Amino acid sequence: DGGITQSPKYLFRKEGQNVTLSCEQNLNHDAMYWYRQDPGQGLRLIYYSQIVNDFQKGDIAEGYSVSREKKESFPLTVTSAQKNPTAFYLCASSIDRGLGAFFGQGTRLTVV
């Protein structure tokens, strides 16, 4: 089945450690996105990538980094520079053929 997979579903890290969230898609989509969602809030864009080896900052990119070495993969690293990293992180992909973005099921990151 085609889809977008995020792993792990829950992640715990100590403060000051970098952590990488995985996002893989087998939909052959060119564009991929990372969002952050805080309790009771909408989604805020962190980074997006339109094509392999290219990515752009979203509204809240500070403290995050990404790579896009393969079309299928768009990992997000939450660095120690991110002041408030505890949140629900959503990855999405799109081919822009009318259906918009497909989302993964999210990773809930808790930093203690």
Alpha carbon 22 to its chain centroid, in Å, reads 8
Distances (CA, A) of 85 to 6, 13, 17, 37: 17, 10, 11, 11
Find the binder of another protein among 2, 14, 42, 84 (CB under 8 A): 42
Residue matched to tokens 């990488």: 20
Burial annotation 94-106 (CB, 10 A radius, 16+ → b, else e): beeeeeebbbbeb
Q: Give the shortest CB-42-to-another protein separation in angstroms.
A: 4
State yes or no: residue 30 binds another protein (CB under 8 A): yes
State yes or no: residue 63 binds another protein (CB under 8 A): no
State yes or no: residue 26 binds another protein (CB under 8 A): no
Mark the segment that binds another protein (CB under 8 A) among 16-24, 63-71, 72-80, 99-107.
99-107
Site residues, another protein (CB under 8 A): 30-31, 33, 35, 41-45, 48, 50, 58, 88, 90, 92, 94, 96-106, 108
